[in-house]
Amino acid sequence: MDLLDPSIEHYVLHEKTWKFGGGEIYNPQGEQVGIMRRKLLSMRAEIHLLNVDETPLCIINKKLMSARPIYDVKTPTGELIGRGKKPLIAFRGSIDMYDPDENMIYKAQGGVTKWNFRITHPKDKNMIYAEIKKGDKWRDVFAPAFNFKDRYVIHILDRNAPRLMLLAYAIIIDNVYHDK
């Protein structure tokens, strides 16, 4: 099954211990449908999103010179297709997603704990594209010293929303708020 198969409504992103942002992506039946592969010695926190057969889908990397966290989403050939930015001032968890022309296309709003996020239209918060939930949030509270991996569940609510951008969005949120 392809990672971007439109029949998949839920994804589970499972970071593996000591892979520092890499791991597997599963469908609700527990079948692996994708791979996150992080370049270990990269100041840009470069992550490749791949199908199970290791066909590259996109590259996510951090901009080095910025006053706030900014992550670029690029095609395997290096063409910019999106950019995630943390607002300069945000009281709750928030990341905005822009297209290559700097038009805001999505807004991810989380709670104070930054465990759960809703991805909405930037001007209409009632238009929800997806929800991202941290699956192992209580481990962060009770055993932070053993916090070696994260698990996120992405529920796609709008079947027409581009899955690649929503998956990249979840990885960006994890990098900004949980992979410090």
The domain spanning residue 91 has which CATH number? Answer: 2.40.160.200
Examine residue 149 and state whether it is found in any structural domain, yes or no: yes
What pTM, to 2 d.p., does this model score? 0.84
Examine residue 4 and state whether it is found in any structural domain, yes or no: no
Structural domain total, the chain: 1
Kind and range of the H or E element at 107? strand 104-110
Examine residue 62 and state whether it is found in any structural domain, yes or no: yes
Examine residue 30 and state whether it is found in any structural domain, yes or no: yes
Measured distance CA(151)–CA(56) in Å, rounded: 22
Domain that holds residue 147: 10-177
Closest CA to 179 of 141, 143, 140, 125: 140
Kind and range of the H or E element at 173? helix 163-177
Q: Report the share of the chain in percent with pLDDT over 90.
A: 57
What is the residue-averaged pLDDT of the chain?
84
Examine residue 2 and state whether it is found in any structural domain, yes or no: no
In this prediction, residues 80-88 reach a mean pLDDT of 92
| 2-54 pLDDT, tens digit each | 999 999 999 999 887 554 568 999 998 999 999 999 876 566 678 999 999 99
Residue 138's pLDDT is 45
CB neighbours of 113 closer than 8 A, spacing ≥ 6? 93, 137
CB neighbours of 20 closer than 8 A, spacing ≥ 6? 38, 40, 179
